[in-house]
Every structure is written in structure tokens, then in C-alpha cells.
Structure 1
Amino acid sequence: MKYLKLFFKVFLSIFILPLIYFLIAIILTWIPVNSDFDTSKGENQIYLSTNGVHADIIIPIEYFDSDFINQLDADPSVKYLSFGWGDQNFYLNTPTWADLTFNNAVKALFIDSPTLIHLTKYSGISQHWVRTHVNQTQLEKLKSQILNSFEFKNDKLQVLEGAGYHSNDNFYKATGSYNLFNTCNSWTNKVLKNSGLRACVWTPFDFGIINKYE
């Protein structure tokens, strides 16, 4: 009887709880918020992108003030800034899905962990980006939430030198903790939702975000 109870506990942990999480995530992803937002109206353009798993918000660099831009070490060719938020260990030790380990995945999902902003600089628009229009109020809310996600020290961004994947990206210390209820995509979704743009009630998936703008 003792071992039978243990078996059911293990079964519940391994199969039932993840299934419940997935079903709830699908339902909350399917339920839209700010559905009255018109993607064709607004004097400013922003973009969304995904690598198939992780959704980022892309904003023209000209929309930011010089105090922020000057800290990015961006050359004049940079026209767009892409922002993503996520688990520090996962970002730094899993540059590709081939580098994913069970240990890193478990730590990211089940242990509140430090986070980073992944900022990538682009000189042009990618054909894979999804464009939408926002008004000035929505844009200011977007920028405010993104900037508040950075960790500042003496009003300076905390960059991790040499930690970027390529020459056009950097990692910066961020606020908040990552876990299975507060993921990279739920951060992106929250920023959009709180800015009055189309979003989900909550989602850990990129497709729930991107599909609302395609």
C-alpha cells in the first residue's frame, strides 16, 4: 500500500500536473484581451518576432530618448531594437535548443531565478516580423514597461560584457524572477496587454501572441 501511494504521487507529479498546466495555458492563451485594438491604426509602428518559441517586441530606436540610446553603444546604422526577457541561466547556457539540458530546463521552470533582458540591434526590417500600429499613449506604455524591466545601478544599465550571441546583441540585468508562471512569453504578453494592445489573458507560448497580429 505504501508503494502504491508513492506510485500515484509520482504519476501525479510527472503526468497529471503538467497536463493540467498545459490545458490551463491553452485556455488562457485562447481567451483574448483588448480585442477592440485596431492593428491598422496609430501613428507609430512596432513589430513582433519569434524564433519559433520565444516572442520579442521590436521598436524603432528613434522612439527612445538619447539617454537610453547612448548607453547601448549603437552605431548610426541601427534602426530597430528588439527586446526579450528571460531566465539568466537559460539565456547564457542555452544559446541554441541543441544546448538545452534537463537541469537547465527544470531550474528555469521550477526555481525563481534571476533574469536578463536580451536586446538585439537591427539595421533593417525582417520579412518575418509582424507589424502593428500603436498610438502615442500605447507606445509610451510599451516603452515604460520595457525600461522598467531593466535593472539600473546609478541610473546605468547593467550590461553583461561579452555575453551576447552575436555582434549585434547584448544581455542586461533585469528585474523580476522567471518561473513556469512568469516566462519569457508571459512577459511579452503582459507588456502588450498592459499597453492596451491585443494579447492573451496569460500565455507561456509565442503563438498565442503572434497569431493575434497576423
Structure 2
Amino acid sequence: MRLLKKILKYIGVILIFPISYLIASLILTYIPVNEKKDSKEKNHTIYLSSNGVHLEIIIAKNDLNIILLNDQLDAPQAQYFSFGWGDKNFYIETPLWADLTFVNGFQALFLNTSTLLHVTRHSSVQEDWVALHINQEQLKKINQYISTTFRLNAENKKIVLPGLGYYKNDDFYEAIGSYTCFNTCNSWVNTGLKQSDIKACLWTPFDFGLLDMHKDQSR
């Protein structure tokens, strides 16, 4: 009986972190920031996309500033650029969810690991993208946020990793920042929206809070 109590106690200690993390995450996800409406004309549109877990920010090529476009691989048909941030090892070793291993997942969530920016080129808007209508100042800020996430070499150029893209229309670049369970791919997107004065969550590691928030706005 005493042994059983000890086992249950250890199980409780082990479970307290993930349960607390989940509860706090859900609460903070549903606390919105930057809700105030402004009088500035929202004549630009950016988008959010998700693969079911991982969010990316999409901006039309014509709305990208020259600094953000510099040193990026391009294609004539590219009209939209999608930006996602995440754990370097996870990106490279896990192109499909079927490739996910316990070690990759644990390292990404609980260790301070190096990161990449995943840039994908699109020729047109996709049906499952969620539109965010923003003003010129917000567009400028989100461009700046993404620009400062690229790690630069000694010549102040973006560092592309040749041949590591999943398809012909995407590439990986070295990025600034460390990935942890408190600083995930989705919290990177959320932070970008917050710093750009665009409606966002107080904090979130998930994709659904931002998607639901902006789907509601577009109705």
C-alpha cells in the first residue's frame, strides 16, 4: 500500500507540469489583445495558414519590403510568401508527422534549440488561408518582425540551407531565437501579431486561438 502511494505521488509530480501548462495555455489563448478598433484604412491583407498544428504568416509579394525580399530565393510565379518559424532539427528530421520521434519532440519542447525560418512561395491565395485585414503601419511592423528573425552572415545576408526544402517552392533559412515549449512556432506568429498591433492572444502555443479569432472577424 505504501509503495502504491509512492508510485501515485511520483506520477502526480510528473503530471503536474503538463496539466498546469495545458490549463495556463488555454486560458491565455482566449485572452485577446490589440482589440481596439482604429480609424486607419485597412487596405492590406495578410493571411494565416495551418497544417493542423503549425501556423505560418503569408504576405503578398507586393507588400513585402525590400529588406525582407533581399537574398531570398524567388521564382517568377511567386505572388505570396509564407513564413514559419520552428526548431531546426524538427524541421529537417520531421518533414511528415509520420517521421516524428519521441527524441525529436522532446528536444524541441524542452531544450533551448536552434531555429529556422521556413519560407514557401505561392502563386495564388489558398482556400484554407485566413485573411487578416490590416493598415499600412501594421504591415510595416509585421515586415520588420519577420525581417529581424532571419539570422545574417558576416556580410549581412540571409543564410539559406540549400537542398533542404520539402518541395520546389520552399526553402529554409537560419533564424534568430531558441525553440522551447514556451516559445513555439505558433507563439512566434502570435508575438509578431502582438508587436504589429494586430489582434492576437495574450500568449499561445497553439494554432486554433488565432485562427478562430480571425475567422470570426472575417464573417
Indicate if the aligned counterparts of 2:58 and 2:82 stay in contact, CA closer than 8 A: yes
CA distance in 2 between partners of 1:174 and 1:183 (Å): 13
In structure 1, the gaps of 5 or more residues are: none
2:64 alignment partner in structure 1 = 64
2:162 alignment partner in structure 1 = 161
TM-score under structure 2 normalisation?
0.91
- Partner amino acid, structure 2, of 1:184: C
Indicate if the aligned counterparts of 1:141 and 1:194 stay in contact, CA closer than 8 A: yes
In structure 2, the gaps of 5 or more residues are: none
Shift of 1:2: 8.5
1:73 alignment partner in structure 2 = 73
**Offset from partner CA, 1:123-142 (integer Å, 9 cap, x none):** 11101111121111101110
CA distance in 2 between partners of 1:142 and 1:184 (Å): 16
Indicate if the aligned counterparts of 2:138 and 2:197 stay in contact, CA closer than 8 A: yes
2:171 alignment partner in structure 1 = 170
Indicate if the aligned counterparts of 2:121 and 2:170 stay in contact, CA closer than 8 A: yes
Indicate if the aligned counterparts of 1:45 and 1:134 stay in contact, CA closer than 8 A: yes
1:102 alignment partner in structure 2 = 102
CA distance in 2 between partners of 1:34 and 1:93 (Å): 36
2:200 alignment partner in structure 1 = 199
1:179 alignment partner in structure 2 = 180
- Partner amino acid, structure 1, of 2:24: I
- Partner amino acid, structure 2, of 1:100: L
**Offset from partner CA, 1:82-130 (integer Å, 9 cap, x none):** 0010000111111111111111110001100000000000011101111
Shift of 1:4: 5.3
Indicate if the aligned counterparts of 1:37 and 1:196 stay in contact, CA closer than 8 A: no
Q: After superposition, where does 1:1-40 map in structure 2 within 5 Å? A: 5=6, 8-13=9-14, 15-37=15-37
Change (3 A) 1:37 1:151: farther
Q: What is the root-mean-square deviation of aligned Cα atoms in Å?
A: 1.8
- Partner amino acid, structure 2, of 1:54: H
* Structure 1, 154-163 or 66-75: larger mean CA deviation: 66-75
Q: How many pairs does the alignment contain? A: 212
Indicate if the aligned counterparts of 1:41 and 1:133 stay in contact, CA closer than 8 A: no
CA distance in 1 between partners of 2:73 and 2:105 (Å): 32
TM-score under structure 1 normalisation?
0.93
Indicate if the aligned counterparts of 1:37 and 1:198 stay in contact, CA closer than 8 A: no
CA distance in 1 between partners of 2:211 and 2:122 (Å): 20
Indicate if the aligned counterparts of 1:30 and 1:208 stay in contact, CA closer than 8 A: yes
Q: After superposition, where does 1:132-147 map in structure 2 within 5 Å? A: 132-147=132-147
CA distance in 2 between partners of 1:170 and 1:181 (Å): 25
Shift of 1:146: 0.4
Indicate if the aligned counterparts of 2:53 and 2:207 stay in contact, CA closer than 8 A: yes
Indicate if the aligned counterparts of 1:37 and 1:197 stay in contact, CA closer than 8 A: no
